[in-house]
Amino acid sequence: MQLVFATNNLNKLKEVQTLIPSHIKLLSLKDIECFEDIPETQNTIEGNAIQKAEYIKSKYGFDCFADDTGLEIEALSGAPGVYSARYAGKQRNADDNMNKVLTELQQFDNRNAQFKTVIALHLNGETKIFTGICKGEITKIKQGQKGFGYDPIFKPLGFDKTFAEMELSLKNSIGHRGKAMKQLYNFLNAR
């Protein structure tokens, strides 16, 4: 079986390649010669994941899965949420996004947050949804050089390190994407 992972984010692709069953050949968007930006115009994380998976299936004909991830911060009423990738503007710059979050949280003691990943799998004409959540808190400063996105300011519950200070194997075992991928893995392995 082969599946397309509908992402242009090479960091996500690298993370997911370590989590997919070995009997499945994972194809990237580059592999199927998809070089355009896939639409993400829904107002929910679930909606964006489904939209991306359906786009690849309808335009390229491949079974595929797509994810969307959002950082949801309690004190900011769930923001940045679905707008996480472009929170500080269309340039999608991780440092700008983190700086905006840190600035907005200066006035709050409550730094509780969670990462939420939704994976939409489009397979054999059906769509299945898998959700992973990792609870934690936003640090006051950026810490660590690993990972991507908001990883340097997110410390998962029960740990004294941010995602950006962790090895990828640990992050995958406790993180939102890893949890959603585990559900996907178990579903695909049972087929």
With 90 as the cut, is the pLDDT of residue 190 above it? no
| Among 39, 89, 45, 82, residue whose Cα is nearest residue 67 | 45
Strands 64-73 and 112-123: antiparallel
Give the CATH number of domain 2-189.
Answer: 3.90.950.10
For residue 41, pLDDT beyond 80: yes
CA distance to 134, 141, 153, per residue, from 75 (Å): 17, 17, 15
pTM over 0.95: no
Amino acid in the structure at residue 62: F
Least confident window among 5-9, 13-17, 70-74, 95-99: 13-17
Residue tagged 């700008």 (tokens): 96
pLDDT tens per residue, range 138-153: 999 999 999 889 999 9
The residue from 31, 37, 67, 68 that is catalytic is: 68
Q: Does the annotation count 63 as an active-site position?
A: no
- What does the pLDDT average to over 44-66? 95
pLDDT band at 42 (very low <50, low <70, confident <90, very high): very high
Q: What is the pLDDT of residue 140?
A: 96
191 has pLDDT over 80: no
- CA 53 to CA 165: how far, in whole Å? 31
Count of C-beta atoms within a 10 Å radius of residue 136: 23
pLDDT for 10 = 79
User: 133 near 116, Cβ under 8 Å?
Assistant: yes
Report whether 185 contacts 166 (CB < 8 A).
no
- CB under 8 A, 24+ apart: contacts of 186-189: 187/121, 187/128, 187/130, 188/1, 188/20, 188/21, 188/24, 189/21
Number of residues that this document lists for the chain = 191
